[in-house]
Amino acid sequence: ILNVEQSPQSLHVQEGDSTNFTCSFPSSNFYALHWYRWETAKSPEALFVMTLNGDEKKKGRISATLNTKEGYSYLYIKGSQPEDSATYLCAFKGDSSYKLIFGSGTRLLVRP
Amino acid sequence: KAGVTQTPRYLIKTRGQQVTLSCSPISGHRSVSWYQQTPGQGLQFLFEYFSETQRNKGNFPGRFSGRQFSNSRSEMNVSTLELGDSALYLCASSLSHSNYGYTFGSGTRLTVV
C-alpha cells in the first residue's frame, strides 16, 4: 500500500512569518509529485507539478523542492498572509499509475 | 474558459437508493478522475477515465462505478447507498496523465440518511 504522509497536520502562524511543510512519499517508481492549495468552500487548486529530483519551483511567495531519492518534498511560504490560509495537499503519482495518491494535508491558518 | 462543472452540488438520498453524479471537464481535457473525501480522510481515489476507457480503479466496492462519454463528460454511480457513502465527491480533469496539474470541480456533497 502506497503511503503519502504530510506534516504537520496543522499550523498556526502570524502574518509575516515564513513557514514550511513536508510531504513524504514512496521513493520507488516515482513519476510526479503534485502540490495543491484547498481553500474553504473552494476547489483544490494546482500549485506545482514536480517530476525531476532536485526540482525547485516557485510561484510568488510559495516555493517547493523535491528529493525523489529520499522521497520527500518541502513547500515553503515566505511572509505568510491571511489569504494563504488553506489546506495544502501533496499527491504522488507512480510511474505505472494513472492515479494521484493524496496526503491528508497540512491546514495552515495565518493570523493577522 | 469554463472550469470543471459538477452537478448536482448537493444531494440527499436514503439508504438503499442509488445516485448518479455528473462531471463536465474543461474543454480539451480527456482525462477525468473521481475522488471521495470523508471527514478525517484525505482524498481517496475512485477511478480515472481517458477517452472513454477506465485506466485505473481505486479500492472501492463494486457499488461504485463510472463511465466516460465521447465528449469526455463523466458520470459516477453509487448503488445501494450506505450511510458511510456520505462524502464530498470531487471530479478532476487534466490534459493527460503526465505532467499537468489537475483542475478540480466544486464537488458534489452527498448525504445518505
Per-residue pLDDT band for A1 (boundaries 50, 70, 90) equals low
The rounded distance, in Å, linking the Cα atoms of B103 and B31 is 11
Alpha helix segments (H runs only) across B5-108 = none
Report the pLDDT value the prediction gives residue B97, as an integer from 0 to 100. Answer: 57
Low-confidence ranges of chain B (pLDDT < 70): 1, 97-99
By the 10 Å C-beta count (0-12 exposed, 13-18 middle, 19+ buried), A73 is classed as: buried
In this model, does residue A21 exceed pLDDT 70? Answer: yes
In this model, does residue A98 exceed pLDDT 90? Answer: no
Beta bridge partners of A50: A33
The rounded distance, in Å, linking the Cα atoms of A111 and A32 is 33
What is the average pLDDT across A9-34? 95
In this model, does residue A96 exceed pLDDT 80? Answer: no
Q: How many CA atoms lie within 13 A of B62 on its CB side?
A: 0
User: From chain A, which residues contact B within 8 Å (Cβ)?
Assistant: 32, 34, 36, 42-49, 51, 89, 91, 93, 97-105
The rounded distance, in Å, linking the Cα atoms of B70 and A79 is 46
Per-residue pLDDT band for A69 (boundaries 50, 70, 90) equals very high
Are A89 and A75 spatial neighbours (Cβ–Cβ below 8 Å)? no
> From the list B42, B45, B98, which residue is nearest A103 (CB)?
B42
Alpha helix segments (H runs only) across A23-107 = none
| Distance in Å, alpha carbon of B112 to nearest chain A alpha carbon | 21
| Distance in Å, alpha carbon of A112 to nearest chain B alpha carbon | 27
Interface check B69 vs A, CB under 8 A: no
The rounded distance, in Å, linking the Cα atoms of B111 and B82 is 10
Report the pLDDT value the prediction gives residue B1, as an integer from 0 to 100. Answer: 60
DSSP code of B102? P
* Helix (H/G/I), strand (E/B), else coil: B27: coil
Report the pLDDT value the prediction gives residue A61, as an integer from 0 to 100. Answer: 97
Q: How many CA atoms lie within 13 A of B5 on its CB side?
A: 8
In this model, does residue A95 exceed pLDDT 90? Answer: no
- Pick from B72, B71, B36, B67: which is nearest to B54 by CA? B67
Contacts of B41 in chain A (CB under 8 A): 104
* Helix (H/G/I), strand (E/B), else coil: B36: strand
